[in-house]
Each structure stands twice: as structure tokens, then as C-alpha cells.
């Protein structure tokens, strides 16, 4: 067991470090942006005599002069880490300057940890350089129009530079810290100055925080030397994320090291004679190295270390930041939590600065910002640097990533909530808390000798996702026996959205006769437990606390602020607050001790941030305490905001009348890069009152045709007209089509009936037009309509999907494999429904692989093979195409003799009262005439083949429909 735990933890740590967790890694960007590589020499600064050479790249937009943006990389990265982001901003119209900070990439010098005398001074020199470039727009002599952005290490630099250099016009720092002493020693209160508002107000906490040793160790390892000579400078740590993208950073690292060593050899003035041995401090300046050594050895933050970290923290300058600031912070971040951005926002706003905040579903443990957040950053700079109209104002916007997953895509839903002003500031609504009663008696917990074994709750770069990686590991290590006290709420009667830091007041008492100490170091967290026992750590983080114990032996009380989190908690689930004695991510005491932990206040306060839902990519899933609004009201607000557009489209669709065929496809073609042609010259027509079957083997192009018909993908060539109107994304005529393509997709926690009602409400069309009762009758689900869809069988989901497609009784119904999962009686019922639907004046297009069902349901068939149409006609014509016929007669032997005598007729067979023959061009009527003339009574005549026979003849026997 021990080997299993150690091996798993090692793998996770390697993944975390290898993924470049401290590096904000770029995505692909425009490749044709002109660039210019250069080096800029800057003063070495205190402790680094001589000059430092910075490696930089300038990205030029199409039109100049233009405003400029400095883009700073994350810790452990280089200018290459932000290359694609720089290209994206340059493509937007900005001059962009990216550089490798001192000590990283091929830049010389030593890491001073965003020191005002070193890295911040370097950035000011870069602004000086931009002022000399003719491509850069100037506000005055030596004053370029400039913004600054960057993630983590680069984010703190953005804030610090704005505080030290008044020429900065706008900033957008991402996933960074407010006070590094607070971030690495949570709940420490040594450093003077403003305190993060989210930090506990309890006076019971001691003056020292609890050392975040694992993350600090990762930080330090990124700055360690790799042994390339006695230069005190080492190549940058390669980004695992870049390697995953095929960037091949290992070779780049070697080239960087060689270039750096050559540069130092050619100019010894750039070498720091006071650099410590490479094996001890790597590329760090001695002061940073000493601070880490002290913290790692003692687990505490001294006043000198706190002051060093504070000088490298935005908290030291937030009172003088006047540049408009867009703070972007990750909701999945065990390094710099939401409390860090909260403190920065409050401090800048209280000093009169302009600030907006975005919390997104990512962070150091959850990934870099996606295109939506990057677009918002671009709009911020567009407004403040290029004088363009502002984007949608929001004091705070945050992403809500739910546990609800759609049926068709196993991905969590995400929506965005905004508040016009940052909560709690002047003129803004305050953060509110709802008290939930906690159940559970006081529990005795033990801190084992050596703090071993320690709970493994989070891992850098993975955060609280440990349970999803290994349920066995999480169960064994997150709540170690005898080391954790848990207190649980009752099952929640309705869903709510938790947004912020829950708070709970606990009591801590010594246990008579057991080892004790002058202080208790504990770790608090909040989890969600489903009825089936599944446990999810909310926020993916824990909150450490150091609580001094009264000398008189009485219990201590402390108001514990748990990690900030944004998470919807489902109805029927419970919250559990856990207080533990160990956590491997922190440097706690190693002496054994026993504590009695209880809940002093009897409840946990869960926060909510007033706001409104502004996105439509998911459907709100119930009452949301976290935003102070019921999700149905949020959905209604979204519908109202769009109802005019929807009604206009519906009105336009109602005017699409005439005698044009329901569907005409002409010369349709769809090709993809690499020469792949999925559909090639497809043409066919669907008539009114027709049930048309679209057949073909796998890969024939059927689904591609249906997706183009629905406006989901654009044809390469050809046209699609529905009731005489061309099809395009958002075309009004699409409102006359009901579709079910590529499987059902429902919100599994809602009932079948609620899914249908919610789907129709999202269209913005009048409820009276839904014909919901008819659709529910078609579904044939009875009482199951009131049950959650997650309890449905495949066949029940299939029937519900078909009913959804029939909402509003569309004129053209398009169904892809509608009978999948249905039993024979249901298939028979579906056959009658489709026939009746077409008889009422509408049209049905069915794609299916059940040839017998198509033969009995459809009156017309289009057969596709390898992207083309190989047959188009009535079912009877397709079946009769081979000339095989059957005749039921009173004298089969005499009939066989007559047919054998007819010219060209072959393969004559007798089977009971029937005779079969291949007529080979002889009309069936002529054959009947010959039989009658020979005195044979013909009772029935028709094609011998089934549709399956015709299909196999058309496409070959080595394919499947």
C-alpha cells in the first residue's frame, strides 16, 4: 500500500512540475506577424554589478503607429512562453514587446523575484525603448501609449510596474498574487499594510502563517541551476505544456544555455561575482535564496523575509495604481487563490483606481484562460489604449462550472455571472452569507509524530482533482483515520451556487493525558457529498490555520475562512466541513499532539455574490443561492434579452410560405484539409407528404449531409434550399425544421417534461406554439416524464429526443437513427407516428441503418455510397431495379414452364404456390399476360427482392449501413 501511495504521488508531482504549472503557456496564434529580435542592456541593480542583457522580441501590427503592450511571462518560462499570445495581440493591432526576464531564457542576471530594483526597473527600461520606436504611438515625449499584461510572475510585474511607472495606461494581470507572504504563508500577519479582505478576521490566529512548502519548493526548483558551469545562471525550466504541443523545448533549453554561457564569456561584466554556488541557489539572488532556506528550515516567515516578499508584491503599490486594471484570477488555483485578487481589487478601488475582476474556470491547477477571457482582455486594451467603445461593463464576472454534464458530451457545463460593481465596495451590493446548520459532536484528532503519514489532499498543478485521478488514493489519503474531524449539513432542499469563502467558527481544546503544544496547526476544507457517497473537494484547496492555545488550558475559538470557491451544489447533496491535523502541501509541526475539535457556532456561512447570468451556453440548473437569484429568473432574463430577435425570426419564418418543395439539395460538396472529401455532388429532392429514407454504409456521408442541412457546417460547394429558402446558420427558415441528429443531449438532473419545456423556452417562441402535449403523447413515457433523465434507459432517451424534435410540429422533420434503443413494439409505434406525421401535410427525412424498417416506413429512398448518390427513387422502384419477380399462381409447375420459354427470362424457381424468375428486361405485365394466355391463374405478382438485397447490390456486400 505504501508503495502504491508513494508511486502515485511521485507521478502526480512529475506531472505537475512537468506541465509548467508556473508558466502561462500560449496557444496557437497568427504566424505571419512581423517580428524583430533584439537584446537590450540594462543596469544590473543592487547586488548585480555591471549590466544585464535582456533577450526580447518586438511584434509589429499591420498599421502603425499603434499603442504598445508589454507581455511578461510566468515563472520558469521565457519570451517563447508568450509568443502566441503576443502574436494574437499584434494581430489585433498592437505593437507587442515580449522579453525573457533576467535569469530566464537567454537573458543574463539573477532572479530577484519581481524586485522593484531589478525586474520592475527592467520593465521601465523597456518602456523607455518603446518610446524610441517609430511604430509606437506616443502620448508625449518619452511617454508611449502602453499596456502591460502577463500571468502569475508576469501578472505581479504588471501591477508593480503600474505602481512605479506612471506611463502605464492600462494593465491586465492574470492569476497572480497580492501579497507573496500571504500566498506562501497563508494567514500570516507579520507584514504591515492592507490585509486581504477574504482573510479570516479572527484574532485567535497567530502571527505566523503556515508555510506552503510544496508550492514554494516548485517555485525554487524552477530557479535552480542545472550544472552548466560556474556561472550562477542556468537554462530555463522547459514548459511541459509546450512540449505537449510539440514545441521541443529541451533542444531550446540547451541552445539557450550555450548562448547564455557564450554571452557571459564574451562580457565578464555581466557575471555576478557574488553569485552563490549553482548547487545551492541556482539563479536566485542571495537574499531570495536565504529567505527560502530560512522558510524551508523553520516553516515560519520572519519579519525580514516578510518584508522581502512584500516589496515584490503588488500590495506595496496598490494604493497608487491609477491605470485601469482588469484582474483575471483562476477558480482552480492552490497557489494564488481568489482571495489574492479580492485583496488587490479592494485596495485599488479604495485608492480611487478603476478595477474589474474576472474569475475563470482555471488557474495554476486548471489551465490558462481560454478564448473568451482572452477576448475580454483584448477589449480592455482596445478601449483604454485605442479609444474604442468599451466592452460589457462588469465589476465582477465569474465562471460557474457545474457538476452537471450533458448526455452527448461528457464535459461540465459553464456559464458566466456578472455584477455591475465589485461586491462590498461603495455603491456595490455586499457579499451575503447563508447559515447552514452543521451536525456532529466534537472529535478528538491526532497529529502523529513527524506529521507522518500526512493527508494528500492537493498536489501542485493538480489541485483537488486527486479524486478524479484515483478514487482509491483520495479515499485513503484525503481524510486519514484519526486525523480529521468532519461536520455535515442536512441534505440541501434545493441547489444553490456557492461563490466566495465559507466561514465556520470552531473550538479547539487540549485532550487531558495526551501530548499537546502551545499552538494547534490545522487545515480546513469544505466538500460536497452526493447521496451515493461521492465526495468532491470544493475549490480544490485547503485553508491552513495556526491557533495559539490559552495558557490556562481553556479551549480556543477561531473563525475559520475556508478556501474561496465557485461551485453549484446540487439539491439532495450535503456539505461537510473537515478540520485535519496534517497536509503534505504545508509545513506543519512534527511533534505529536491531540486536539478536541468542535463547531462553536453550530453552522457554516456560505457566501453568495449578487449578479446575473449573462451566457446562454448552458441552462441554469435550479435555485442559486450563490448569486442571490433563482436560476429560472436568470434564464427568463436571458430569454427576455433575446426575445425580440427570436420573435423577429419566428415572424420571418411564418412568412416563408409558398409551393416550393420542402427540401432541394443540389450539387452538395464538403471537403476538408488534406484532400478528404466527405460529400461529393449530392443532389436529391424531398416532396410534401413524403417519408424519405437516407441510406448508406458507415462513412457514406449521410450525417455530413444532415449537419449541412441543419446549418451546423458550411458546404464547400452546392446549395440547400428549404421551402425555397437557402440554409445558413441562423436562417429564419430553420425554425420550420425539427431535428434529432447525432444522439440525444439532455440535462440529466431535470425531468423529461422539464427538459422539453426548457428547450422550447430557449427558442423564445410563444408557449402556445409548442404543442407540448402532443409531443409528450408521442414520447409515450407516461409517469416517467416526471423522473430525472439520468434514470432513463437508452430507449426512453431516444423517444424523448424525438418528442423534442417534434415540438412546434415543424414542417420538415429530420431524424438520425430514430429507432436506436427501441424495442419491437416501440419501433412499430414509431413507424405509425412517422407515417401519420407525413400524412398530415408535413415531410419526414429519416437516416437509418435498419433497412427493414425503412422499407416498411418510407415511400422514397436515397442511397449514398462514398459521398455520392447511387440510387434515388421510390422503395418499390429500388427493390424492382434488378428485375427479379415473384408470382403466386394456381399451377406453379405450368407457370415455370411458360416463363422458361420466354426470351431472356432466367433463374426460374418454384416454391410452394409461387414461382420466382429473373425477367431480365421483360416487363412484369408482359409476363403476367403470357401466364394468363397459357391458362395459369395469377393471384399476385411483385418484386422478389427486399430493400436489403437492393442495398447490397448498390453498395457491395463488404459494407454495412
Q: Are residues 846 and 896 in the same domain?
A: no
How far apart are the C-alpha atoms of 501 and 338, rounded to whole Å? 9
Cβ-based burial of 614 (10 A; exposed 0-12, middle 13-18, buried ≥19): middle
Residue 841 pLDDT > 90, yes or no?
Answer: no
Lowest average pLDDT, out of 130-134, 475-479, 534-538, goes to 475-479
**What pLDDT was estimated at residue 226?**
37
Q: Are residues 141 and 99 in the same domain?
A: yes
C-alpha closest to that of 225 among 289, 283, 290: 283
- Give the residues across from 528 on adjacent strands: 536, 575
C-alpha closest to that of 865 among 691, 671, 705: 705
Residue 343 or 659, more confident: 343
Residue 628 or 846, more confident: 846
Q: Are residues 834 and 912 in the same domain?
A: no
Lowest average pLDDT, out of 417-421, 654-658, 753-757, 793-797, goes to 654-658
Residue 942 pLDDT > 60, yes or no?
Answer: yes
What is Dmax (Cα atoms) for the chain? 123
Confidence tier at 179 by pLDDT (50, 70, 90): very high
How far apart are the C-alpha atoms of 297 and 278, rounded to whole Å? 20
Which of 820, 853, 873 is the last residue in one of the domains? 873
Which of 117-126, 667-676, 701-710 is the most confident on average? 117-126
Residue 636 pLDDT > 50, yes or no?
Answer: no
**What pLDDT was estimated at residue 876?**
67
Mean pLDDT of 730-744: 76
Q: Are residues 903 and 865 in the same domain?
A: no
Structure confidence by residue, pLDDT tens digits, 886-910: 788 888 888 888 888 787 777 788 8
Residues 6+ apart with CB under 8 A from 225: 232, 233, 234, 278, 279, 282, 283
DSSP string, 731-792: -GGGGGEEEE-SS----TTSBHHHHHHHHHHHHT--GGGS-HHHHHHHHT-GGGGGSBGGG-
936 within a domain of the structure (yes/no): yes
The 3-class SS string of 832-880 reads HHHHHHHHCCCEEEEECCCHHHHHHHCCEEEEEECCEEEEEEEHHHHHH
3-class state of residue 721 by DSSP:
strand
Would strands 68-72 and 95-99 be described as parallel, antiparallel, or unpaired?
A: parallel
Q: Are residues 832 and 902 in the same domain?
A: no
Q: Are residues 386 and 457 in the same domain?
A: no
**What pLDDT was estimated at residue 444?**
94
Contact call for residues 801 and 744 (beta carbons, < 8 A): yes
353 within a domain of the structure (yes/no): yes
Which of 873, 900, 929 is the last residue in one of the domains? 873
Confidence tier at 327 by pLDDT (50, 70, 90): very high
Residues 6+ apart with CB under 8 A from 210: 185, 186, 187, 299, 521, 544, 545, 546, 586, 587, 588
Lowest average pLDDT, out of 99-113, 322-336, 651-665, 755-769, goes to 651-665
Q: Are residues 828 and 855 in the same domain?
A: yes
Q: Are residues 487 and 458 in the same domain?
A: yes
% of the chain surpassing 70 pLDDT: 75
**What pLDDT was estimated at residue 770?**
83
Residue 583 pLDDT > 70, yes or no?
Answer: yes
Residues 6+ apart with CB under 8 A from 923: none
Structure confidence by residue, pLDDT tens digits, 182-234: 889 887 543 333 333 333 333 333 456 888 888 888 877 777 643 333 222 22
| CATH assignment at residue 605 | 2.60.120.260
Residues 6+ apart with CB under 8 A from 694: 702, 705, 706, 845, 846, 847, 848, 862, 864
Residue 496 pLDDT > 60, yes or no?
Answer: yes
Q: Are residues 509 and 586 in the same domain?
A: yes
How far apart are the C-alpha atoms of 736 and 282, rounded to whole Å? 68
Residues 6+ apart with CB under 8 A from 658: 723, 724
Task: Give the N- to C-terminal CA distance of the chain in Å, as an integer.
Answer: 50
How far apart are the C-alpha atoms of 752 and 783, rounded to whole Å? 10
Lowest average pLDDT, out of 87-101, 322-336, 346-360, 845-859, goes to 845-859
Q: Kindly state the cell numbers that stand for 611.
A: 449578479
**What pLDDT was estimated at residue 495?**
75
Q: Are residues 783 and 861 in the same domain?
A: yes
715 within a domain of the structure (yes/no): yes
Question: Rounded to 5 degrees, what angle do the CA atoms 298, 304, 308 make?
Answer: 110
Lowest average pLDDT, out of 8-12, 492-496, 521-525, 533-537, goes to 8-12
Residue 455 pLDDT > 90, yes or no?
Answer: no
How far apart are the C-alpha atoms of 130 and 58, rounded to whole Å? 9
Residues 6+ apart with CB under 8 A from 699: 866
Cβ-based burial of 730 (10 A; exposed 0-12, middle 13-18, buried ≥19): exposed
Contact call for residues 787 and 824 (beta carbons, < 8 A): no
Structure confidence by residue, pLDDT tens digits, 233-250: 223 332 322 322 233 333
C-alpha closest to that of 578 among 465, 502, 468, 511: 502
Residue 368 pLDDT > 70, yes or no?
Answer: yes
C-alpha closest to that of 694 among 704, 686, 702: 702
How far apart are the C-alpha atoms of 691 and 686, rounded to whole Å? 8
772 within a domain of the structure (yes/no): yes
553 within a domain of the structure (yes/no): yes
Residue 349 pLDDT > 70, yes or no?
Answer: yes
Residues 6+ apart with CB under 8 A from 701: 670, 678, 679, 680, 682, 864, 866, 867, 868
Q: Are residues 864 and 889 in the same domain?
A: no
Quote the number of domains for the chain.
4
**What pLDDT was estimated at residue 418?**
76
**What pLDDT was estimated at residue 314?**
96
**What pLDDT was estimated at residue 644?**
42
**What pLDDT was estimated at residue 428?**
66
Confidence tier at 701 by pLDDT (50, 70, 90): confident
In whole numbers, what is the pLDDT of the chain averaged over residues?
77
6 within a domain of the structure (yes/no): no
Q: Are residues 345 and 396 in the same domain?
A: yes
The 3-class SS string of 176-224 reads CCCCHHHHHCCCCCCCCCCCCCCCCCCCCCCCCCCECHHHHHHHHHHCC
| CATH assignment at residue 862 | 3.40.50.300
**What pLDDT was estimated at residue 445?**
93
600 within a domain of the structure (yes/no): yes
29 within a domain of the structure (yes/no): no
**What pLDDT was estimated at residue 113?**
92
Neighbours of 130 (CB within 10 A): 25
3-class state of residue 921 by DSSP:
coil
The DSSP output letter for 489 is: P
% of the chain surpassing 90 pLDDT: 28
Q: Kindly state the cell numbers that stand for 57.
A: 522580441
Mean pLDDT of 615-644: 35
**What pLDDT was estimated at residue 65?**
94
Confidence tier at 6 by pLDDT (50, 70, 90): very low
Q: Which domain holds residue 455?
A: 434-612
| CATH assignment at residue 346 | 3.40.50.1820
**What pLDDT was estimated at residue 440?**
92
Q: Kindly state the cell numbers that stand for 942.
A: 411483385
Amino acid at each position: 500500500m505504501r508503495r502504491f501511495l508513494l508511486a502515485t504521488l511521485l507521478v502526480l508531482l512529475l506531472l505537475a512540475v512537468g506541465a509548467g504549472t508556473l508558466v502561462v503557456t500560449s496557444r496557437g496564434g497568427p504566424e505571419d506577424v512581423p517580428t524583430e529580435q533584439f537584446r537590450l542592456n540594462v543596469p544590473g541593480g543592487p547586488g548585480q554589478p555591471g549590466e544585464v542583457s535582456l533577450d526580447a522580441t518586438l511584434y509589429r501590427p499591420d498599421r502603425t503607429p499603434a499603442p504598445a503592450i508589454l507581455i511578461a511571462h510566468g515563472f520558469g518560462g521565457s519570451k517563447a512562453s508568450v509568443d502566441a499570445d503576443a502574436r494574437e495581440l499584434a494581430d489585433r493591432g498592437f505593437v507587442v514587446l515580449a522579453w525573457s526576464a533576467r535569469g530566464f531564457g537567454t537573458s543574463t542576471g539573477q532572479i530577484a523575484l519581481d524586485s522593484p530594483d531589478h525586474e520592475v526597473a527592467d520593465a521601465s527600461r523597456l518602456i523607455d525603448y518603446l518610446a524610441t520606436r517609430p511604430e509606437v504611438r506616443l502620448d508625449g515625449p518619452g511617454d508611449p501609449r502602453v499596456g502591460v499584461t502577463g500571468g502569475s510572475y508576469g501578472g505581479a510585474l504588471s501591477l508593480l510596474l503600474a505602481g512605479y511607472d506612471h506611463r502605464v495606461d492600462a494593465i491586465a494581470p492574470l492569476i497572480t498574487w497580492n501579497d507573496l507572504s500571504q500566498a506562501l504563508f497563508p494567514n500570516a500577519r507579520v507584514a504591515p499594510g492592507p490585509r486581504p479582505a477574504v482573510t479570516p478576521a479572527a484574532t485567535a490566529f497567530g502571527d505566523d502563517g503556515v508555510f506552503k512548502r510544496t508550492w514554494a519548493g516548485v517555485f525554487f526548483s524552477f530557479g535552480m541551476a542545472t550544472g552548466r558551469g560556474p556561472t550562477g545562471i542556468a537554462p530555463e525550466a522547459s514548459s511541459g505544456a509546450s512540449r505537449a504541443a510539440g514545441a521541443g523545448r529541451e533542444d531550446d533549453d540547451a541552445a539557450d544555455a550555450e548562448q547564455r554561457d557564450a554571452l557571459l564569456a564574451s562580457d565578464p561584466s555581466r557575471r555576478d561575482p557574488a553569485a552563490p554556488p549553482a548547487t545551492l541557489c541556482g539563479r536566485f539572488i542571495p537574499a531570495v535564496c536565504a529567505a527560502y532556506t530560512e522558510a524551508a528550515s523553520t516553516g515560519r516567515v520572519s519579519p525580514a523575509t516578510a518584508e522581502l516578499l512584500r516589496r515584490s508584491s503588488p500590495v506595496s503599490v496598490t494604493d497608487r495604481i491609477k491605470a485601469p486594471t482588469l484582474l483575471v484570477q483562476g477558480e482552480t488555483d492552490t497557489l494564488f487563490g481568489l482571495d489574492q485578487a479580492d485583496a488587490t481589487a479592494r485596495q485599488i478601488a479604495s485608492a480611487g483606481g478603476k478595477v474589474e475582476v474576472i474569475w475563470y474556470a482555471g488557474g495554476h491547477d486548471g489551465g490558462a484562460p481560454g478564448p473568451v477571457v482572452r477576448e475580454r482582455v483584448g477589449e480592455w486594451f482596445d478601449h483604454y489604449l485605442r479609444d474604442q467603445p468599451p466592452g460589457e461593463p462588469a465589476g465582477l464576472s465569474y465562471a460557474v462550472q457545474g457538476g452537471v454534464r450533458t448526455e452527448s458530451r461528457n464535459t461540465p457545463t459553464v456559464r458566466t455571472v456578472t455584477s455591475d460593481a465589485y461586491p462590498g465596495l461603495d455603491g456595490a451590493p455586499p457579499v451575503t452569507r447563508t447559515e447552514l446548520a452543521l451536525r456532529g459532536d466534537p472529535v478528538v484528532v491526532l497529529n502523529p509524530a513527524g506529521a507522518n503519514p500526512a493527508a494528500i489532499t492537493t498536489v501542485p498543478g493538480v489541485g483537488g482533482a486527486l479524486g478524479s485521478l484515483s478514487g482509491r488514493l483520495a479515499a485513503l489519503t484525503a481524510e486519514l483515520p484519526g486525523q480529521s474531524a468532519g461536520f455535515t449539513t442536512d441534505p440541501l432542499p434545493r441547489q444553490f451556487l456557492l461563490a466566495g469563502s465559507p466561514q465556520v467558527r470552531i473550538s479547539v481544546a487540549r485532550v487531558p493525558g495526551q501530548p499537546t503544544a502551545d499552538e494547534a496547526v490545522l487545515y480546513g476544507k469544505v466538500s460536497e457529498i452526493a447521496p451515493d457517497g461521492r465526495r468532491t473537494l470544493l475549490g480544490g484547496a485547503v485553508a491552513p490555520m495556526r491557533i495559539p492555545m490559552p495558557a490556562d488550558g481553556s479551549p480556543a475559538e477561531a473563525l475559520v475562512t475556508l478556501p474561496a470557491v465557485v461551485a453549484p451544489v446540487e439539491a439532495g447533496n450535503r456539505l461537510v466541513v473537515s478540520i485535519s491535523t496534517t497536509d503534505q502541501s504545508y509545513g506543519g509541526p512534527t511533534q505529536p499532539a491531540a486536539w478536541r475539535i468542535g463547531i462553536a457556532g453550530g453552522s457554516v456561512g456560505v457566501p453568495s455574490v449578487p449578479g446575473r447570468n449573462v451566457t446562454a451556453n448552458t441552462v441554469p440548473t435550479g435555485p442559486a443561492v450563490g448569486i442571490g437569484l433563482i436560476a429560472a429568473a436568470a434564464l427568463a432574463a436571458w430569454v427576455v434579452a433575446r426575445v425580440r430577435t427570436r420573435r423577429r425570426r419566428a415572424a420571418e419564418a411564418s412568412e416563408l410560405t409558398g409551393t416550393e418543395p420542402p427540401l432541394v439539395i443540389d450539387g452538395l460538396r464538403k471537403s476538408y484539409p488534406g484532400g478528404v472529401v466527405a460529400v461529393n455532388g449530392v443532389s436529391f429532392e424531398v416532396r410534401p407528404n413524403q417519408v424519405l429514407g437516407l441510406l448508406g454504409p458507415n462513412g457514406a456521408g449521410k450525417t455530413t449531409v444532415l449537419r449541412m442541412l441543419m446549418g451546423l457546417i458550411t458546404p464547400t460547394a452546392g446549395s440547400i434550399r428549404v421551402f425555397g429558402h437557402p440554409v445558413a446558420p441562423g436562417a429564419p427558415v430553420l425554425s420550420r425544421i425539427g431535428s434529432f441528429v447525432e444522439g440525444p443531449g439532455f440535462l440529466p438532473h431535470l425531468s423529461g417534461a422539464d427538459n422539453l419545456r426548457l428547450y422550447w423556452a430557449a427558442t423564445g417562441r410563444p408557449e402556445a406554439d409548442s404543442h407540448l402535449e402532443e409531443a409528450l403523447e408521442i414520447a409515450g413515457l407516461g409517469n416517467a416524464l416526471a423522473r430525472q433523465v439520468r434514470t432513463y434507459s437508452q430507449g426512453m432517451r431516444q423517444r424523448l429526443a424525438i418528442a423534442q424534435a417534434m415540438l412546434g410540429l415543424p414542417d420538415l422533420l429530420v431524424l438520425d437513427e430514430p429507432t436506436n434503443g427501441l424495442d419491437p413494439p416501440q419501433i412499430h409505434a414509431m413507424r405509425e407516428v412517422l407515417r401519420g406525421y407525413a400524412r398530415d401535410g408535413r415531410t419526414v427525412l429519416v437516416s437509418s441503418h435498419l433497412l427493414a424498417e425503412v422499407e416498411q416506413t418510407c415511400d422514397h429512398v436515397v442511397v449514398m455510397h462514398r459521398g455520392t448518390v447511387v440510387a434515388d427513387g421510390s422503395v418499390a422502384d429500388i427493390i424492382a431495379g434488378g428485375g427479379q419477380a415473384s408470382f403466386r399462381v394456381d399451377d406453379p409447375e405450368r407457370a415455370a414452364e411458360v416463363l422458361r420459354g420466354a426470351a431472356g427470362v432466367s433463374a426460374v424457381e418454384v416454391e410452394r404456390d409461387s414461382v420466382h424468375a429473373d425477367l431480365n428486361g421483360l416487363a412484369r405485365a408482359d409476363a403476367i399476360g403470357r401466364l394468363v394466355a397459357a391458362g395459369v391463374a395469377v393471384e399476385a405478382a411483385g418484386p422478389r427482392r427486399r430493400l436489403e438485397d437492393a442495398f447490397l447490390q448498390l453498395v457491395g456486400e463488404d459494407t454495412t449501413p
